[in-house]
Amino acid sequence: MRHLDDVADADSEAAPLSELSTGRIWGMLESAPDGMLMTDGDGVILAVNQQVERLFGYDRADLLGRRIEVLLPERLHAVHRAHRTRYRAEPNVRAMGEGLQLRARRRDGSEFPVEVSLSPLTDAEGLAVVASIRDVSEAKRASAGARRIQAAIDAVHDGVFMFEPDTLRFVYANEGASVQTGYSNEELLSMTPIHIKPEFTRTQFESLMAPLLADEVERLSFRTIHRRKSGEDVPVDIVLEYLRGAGRDASEVTDGDGADALLVAMVRDVTEQVAVERRLALSEETFRTSFENAPVGMTVASVGHDGHQVFEQVNAAFASMLGRSIDALIGVDFVDISHPDDQQQNANAAAEMATGEREALVAETRYLRADGTFIWTLVHSRVIERSDGARTLTHVVDITDRRERQTAHERMTTMEDRERIARDIHDLVIQRLFGAGMKLQAVIPEMGSATAVARTHETIDELDLTIRELRSAIFSLNRRDHDGTVTEDLALAIEQHVDRLGFRPALVVDGPVDSITEMQSNELGATLREALSNVARHADASAVEVRVEATSSTVTLMVSDDGRGIDSNLPPGNGLPNMANRAENLGGEFSVHQRETGGCELSWLIPR
């Protein structure tokens, strides 16, 4: 077996060592960064350096004289012997197992990847082989990590492009980039961003990148178009970053020495997002147009938990409804323009919407106009967004006319009921009481007892008092109890008698009738109702004309009919005396007479 001293005297064409001392050769082996060992042609280990001891965990004495297979996994022993035989037949300087994944085994049995370079030494005793062994575990791990990163980048749906800042030539493009553009990876690597960005010239693109290259910004974000190989334009969002090589700064790159500096572009296809944005914009435009031009009032308001509902948007119809400008309503709390009787109810409903207790509200409420009047509205309000409180969309319809008609109808119904009650009291109760009084008066002369006569007179006085109280109640039922004008009250009185008369009397109003006092109005209305009631009961008329005239000094009521006139055979009633009493109580006068053309004419006049 040869030793290192023998090697010093060997004559080798590949690595002549005859001029070197044994010590120097040993020093060279020991100082090598990789593991170095020498075997003979049969694979017996002749020499090892300290790096081999560190790599494999053996002492040098444990390795010398043993076959090289001790440093290999057992499953590779036979393969390695075959490899050694082939190498001995054709020795040369080369890497061992080119294209193969070489494995070595430590003393503890653990394995690790290695790279091995072989150099032959030939002398009189035969072939010796020097092997350089390098642990490539870290390199393998780094390579595996790089492959994983590469695979991850290629798996990303977004496009990843890397290009040089000076030439703009793509040096890398992932699979996502190929899918986005329709170009193969090979085609992309021969292109620049300008080839796929129709909105940019080279000068424009370099101007865009300038702040990034000058370290003025960390990254650039922008939206543009990528033109695919098919000619289709695709909207994309791009984030562009500048990666410099280790040890280089911006000045070196801008001086042209930027070979290891790259620009990295992350590119996302935003076709679907752009389509959604366009639909949203169209929807918003449609809503805005519908909102602004709606024939009914519309508002958008923010609602707080305290019930405050502040207008953020109002349309022209709502502003017109309130007699205000749009700007004057923005920022106004809707409670502040609500009727005082509705404010608390409206605030409570708004608070319930803000807290999520209700999602919608349908209600009739009153709003204050700029001129101080109120309008009735029907509001439909719904929560359209929730954050801290809520945002509501409200439709507002002016229902003032409907409410007034409803109120008038209810008032007319009430007055008709009162008229019926008053008529029943007048026709039935008062007449009976009056008749009872007349009968008592008729029997007084036949009474022989002064006490009976006195008691009878007391009873008659009680009946008269009862009749006066009933007449007062009838007057209260018939008097005007609404906020309408005197003219409206007269029209209402006529309307209440249409069904009983079978026709609608004509009404003529002349002068400032609506400016008379409330007492005068009440007596005027009661007299008209009594007059029309008499016509309905007794006249058998086909037409009635009511004329009311007010001057600066008098108020006159004239009621004419074409009926059968005054029938002297009928017993006297209370209607005419009642009307006369009303006139006298106000300092006026009353009369009724036959018309030459038929029927009667009633005149009732009071001073103002």
Per-residue pLDDT tens digits for 381-408 = 999 888 777 889 999 999 988 888 887 7
Which residue spans of the chain are classified as CATH 3.30.450.20? Answer: 4-135, 150-269, 278-398
Which superfamily does CATH assign the domain made up of 4-135 to?
PAS domain (3.30.450.20)
**What are the tens digits of pLDDT across the range 277-306?**
888 877 778 778 888 888 899 999 998 877
Q: How far apart are CA 429 and CA 598, in angstroms?
A: 32
Bridge partner list, 550: 555
Q: Are strands 45-48 and 360-368 parallel, antiparallel or unpaired?
A: unpaired
Which residue spans of the chain are classified as CATH 3.30.565.10? Answer: 483-608
Q: How far apart are CA 520 and CA 143, in angstroms?
A: 111
pTM summary value: 0.38
Q: Is the dihedral of CA 136, 139, 143, 144 positive or negative?
A: positive
- Of 155-164, 244-253, 391-400, the range with the highest mean pLDDT is 391-400
Task: For residue 557, give the nearest of 525, 587, 596, 586 by alpha carbon.
Answer: 525
Tell me: domain 483-608, CATH 3.30.565.10, correct?
yes
- Indicate the pLDDT class of residue 25, thresholds 50, 70 and 90: low
Q: How far apart are CA 505 and CA 503, in angstroms?
A: 6
Bridge partner list, 21: none
| Stronger pLDDT, 68 or 145, i.e. the higher one | 68
DSSP 606: E
Q: Are strands 233-243 and 219-227 parallel, antiparallel or unpaired?
A: antiparallel
Q: How far apart are CA 134 and CA 113, in angstroms?
A: 9
Q: Give the number of other Cβ atoms within 10 Å of residue 178's Cβ.
A: 18
Q: What stretches of 40-135 show up as alpha helix (H) in DSSP?
A: 50-56, 60-63, 77-89
| Stronger pLDDT, 93 or 373, i.e. the higher one | 373
- The CATH code for residues 150-269 is 3.30.450.20
Residue with the two structure tokens 């008709």: 416
What contacts 350, CB < 8 A, 6 or more positions away?
A: 303, 307, 308, 309, 334, 335
Q: How far apart are CA 219 and CA 209, in angstroms?
A: 9
Residue 246: the pLDDT is 35
Q: How far apart are CA 198 and CA 504, in angstroms?
A: 84
With beta carbons less than 8 A apart as the criterion, state whether 383 and 392 touch. yes
Q: Which CATH architecture has domain 278-398?
A: 2-Layer Sandwich (3.30)
Section 431-445 average pLDDT: 77
Q: How far apart are CA 260 and CA 247, in angstroms?
A: 10
Bridge partner list, 364: 378
**What are the tens digits of pLDDT across the range 171-219?**
999 988 999 999 999 999 999 999 999 999 999 999 999 999 999 999 9
Task: For residue 37, give the nearest of 53, 25, 48, 27 by alpha carbon.
Answer: 48
